[in-house]
Structure 1
């Protein structure tokens, strides 16, 4: 067996995918030389994973931890978050279909739509707009422009510049590249999904900073920011963010828990996301147990006429289609983990948000420990064990990470009771849905706790968009 310290040295300069243990235990180790952090499509369990290999990988990570340098994230200029040569724009005259293809081709979630070259006051096109367009094509929503509605339903090309005007949007905030993260945090923490970063003279857009990119930047560089550590080590319950009890009416600063029954049609889920102005929705069974998550980005699975029958099938079935598609794309069984517990640390929550590229995670009440421990974890009929000997090995709950020691990963997402059927055909009942925590909740917390924006309201932007029921 190879010495773990030498193994760590060999892997320091080698690009590889981290294990679930590594990623959910501590923030990523800072590279010795500038490099691009690894992207994680989902938290996945490989068919060939084993407890011994996970132990080895965890030891490697522990041995190659780098020294933490004290730095305040609030002082970071926005220029450091601009991805060079990544700004992609489209002309307003381009059709919605072509704009969607541009999104997919560049693996983006939004595009500035210019009325003319260099348009600094432009709208943005995103998957919420695509969802609205699809509902308009199917005559499920009404708009004030009957000509646009008629063209959509007749299959005529519709300019993307017209569609982006139909979906309620927040003011397009623009910040200069010399501004710092404190300013951006105050805006994004209020529920605005993205801001434009301009040159120093505010005459040209140089990049787009989204909530998701900011969260990923903070997580990837968390070891640099010592002032983040107390928050990262705290649980969601201790921090008081998100909704931890769906039976209690949320305050004006909290999101509502919005869900769909698994047997309801997918069309209704898309319609509900449109009316509520949200980007994802929970799917539950008749007992309120979380089955999965449907995101507005999943609309891409029903953009072709041949896929329209999915719209009239159940949400439960659509989740299986998504999992099947992911398995085919990645070449192995995998499933995204869209849930956390009230006892989950903020560090683990950030790790899952980064891994799943989600805007929100669902908070569930863990199932009975006795039931979980008596169930063996099976992936496509192959036993998988991810229970680790950690300082908290006697608990099935997430606990705050202390002094860089690994968090217990003997949790319900990796120990679901399963039978020898393909992964994408299984339901992952992870516990009763009791709450939700979003990117906005976390950014709002950081703004209130660590900047001068003490009164940031994470629901203000959503109220401005006119969401139903707020």
Structure 2
């Protein structure tokens, strides 16, 4: 679900990238007060309030072609795979990481040492059907498939998602799978109904810097590198997206696993040999066509960005992480500034500093709910941010052969 018209139109221009702490209340006041919610405490609401589309299930015989079409056309993040037709048991999931691995295998852009991949490659070359289930068994860093009952509260769900699990399946009263609840869906629900939860307003005015969230342990790729290398990096490291930067580490854009959908058609495979910078322009064009205008998401925030602005941008871009870049008006914290030597001329505007993930955001919401959130700094001169456990773990998997690492 996209941002409501009020919130979408109120997002600041790309030049300013945020709204100040003092204007957060005025910004939120533009939103209508939601009706029909039984509680002003979001954590007490049942998870069924996140139900916005039916779950899509596939069976072990579903081909890669059919599964990929369902995943892309229905704009889903994952497809649970049944043990057999008519069964209620889930044996695996198929997602964009699997699609990416399969693509790299088919076109020969990755050297898979696993004999099972070689067997699948031989099946493809022989013209035999490969199923999504076969490919899913070779996936890396998959979440354990979890189900929760419909009586689970949003507070209980937040606790689970704050651990780094990205999505869970929700059953109906009969125990059948009903829909997927994810980190993104709970953030979207809270943002679109923010006026219903007055206790969250003080949190909305906090800045990323004051919340001390995010990670400086990031992976990125040069805009001059080929798209195939970016997809290969994500496959080998298990991360979901890469920041694309120029020679000065200034953020150019973002390539995620979901973007593999732009190179799955035979007519677009050539893009694998194009530069990441060129690929960003292709993505912008595709998204502009769908939106009816020349526009593309901006995936960056500042340390001075408010929590409200960060939520708004996550919902608007539908991404899983935002990149912290250098603001034109505020100096970076000493920790971030230490990445650059005096010979490099110091930190430049839009230079990449770190990353904030959905797990970071859910962790803040959960800590706020439990009353354990760190208080605002007593002095405006307080500096430094610790990298969140979840973000650090996710990005520390990068191997030494990546194009760039900060």
TM-score where L is the length of structure 1: 0.68
Q: What is residue 110 of structure 1 aligned with on the other side?
A: 78
Equivalent runs, 1:197-236 vs 2, <5 Å:
197-200=170-173, 203-236=175-208
Larger deviation, residues 276-285 vs 192-201: 192-201
Q: Distance in 2 between matches of 1:326 and 1:144?
A: 38
Q: Distance in 1 between matches of 2:210 and 2:201?
A: 14
Q: Distance in 2 between matches of 1:276 and 1:213?
A: 25
Equivalent runs, 1:419-438 vs 2, <5 Å:
431-438=350-357
Q: What is residue 442 of structure 1 aligned with on the other side?
A: 361
Q: Distance in 2 between matches of 1:63 and 1:464?
A: 36
TM-fit CA distance, 1:464: 9.6
TM-fit CA distance, 1:467: 4.0
Q: Which runs of 5+ in 1 are unaligned?
A: 1-14, 25-42, 46-58, 247-255, 370-394, 398-428
Q: What is residue 143 of structure 2 aligned with on the other side?
A: 170
2:97 is equivalent to residue 97 of structure 1 = no
Kept in 2, the 8 Å contact 1:109–1:126? The answer is yes
Equivalent runs, 1:61-460 vs 2, <5 Å:
65-66=32-33, 71-83=40-52, 86-116=54-84, 117-139=86-108, 140-142=110-112, 143-145=114-116, 146-154=118-126, 156-168=128-140, 169-200=142-173, 203-243=175-215, 246=216, 256-367=217-328, 431-451=350-370, 459=389
Q: How much is the aligned-residue C-alpha RMSD, in angstroms?
A: 3.4
Q: Distance in 2 between matches of 1:132 and 1:141?
A: 11
Higher helix residue share: 2
Q: Distance in 1 between matches of 2:184 and 2:31?
A: 27
How big is each residue's C-alpha offset from its partner over 1:318-372, in whole Å with a ceiling of 9 and x where there is no partner? 00111112222222111211100000001000100000000001010023x6xxx
| Closer, same or farther: CA 225–309 of 1 in aligned 2, 3 Å | same
Kept in 2, the 8 Å contact 1:118–1:204? The answer is no
Kept in 2, the 8 Å contact 1:302–1:308? The answer is yes
TM-score where L is the length of structure 2: 0.78
| Closer, same or farther: CA 207–67 of 1 in aligned 2, 3 Å | closer
Q: Distance in 2 between matches of 1:198 and 1:295?
A: 29
Q: Distance in 2 between matches of 1:288 and 1:64?
A: 37
Kept in 1, the 8 Å contact 2:359–2:391? The answer is no
| Closer, same or farther: CA 224–105 of 1 in aligned 2, 3 Å | same
2:17 is equivalent to residue 22 of structure 1 = no
Kept in 2, the 8 Å contact 1:182–1:451? The answer is no
| Closer, same or farther: CA 171–65 of 1 in aligned 2, 3 Å | closer
| Closer, same or farther: CA 465–91 of 1 in aligned 2, 3 Å | farther
TM-fit CA distance, 1:461: 10
TM-fit CA distance, 1:200: 4.2
| Closer, same or farther: CA 114–318 of 1 in aligned 2, 3 Å | same
- The count of corresponding residues between Structure 1 and Structure 2 is 354
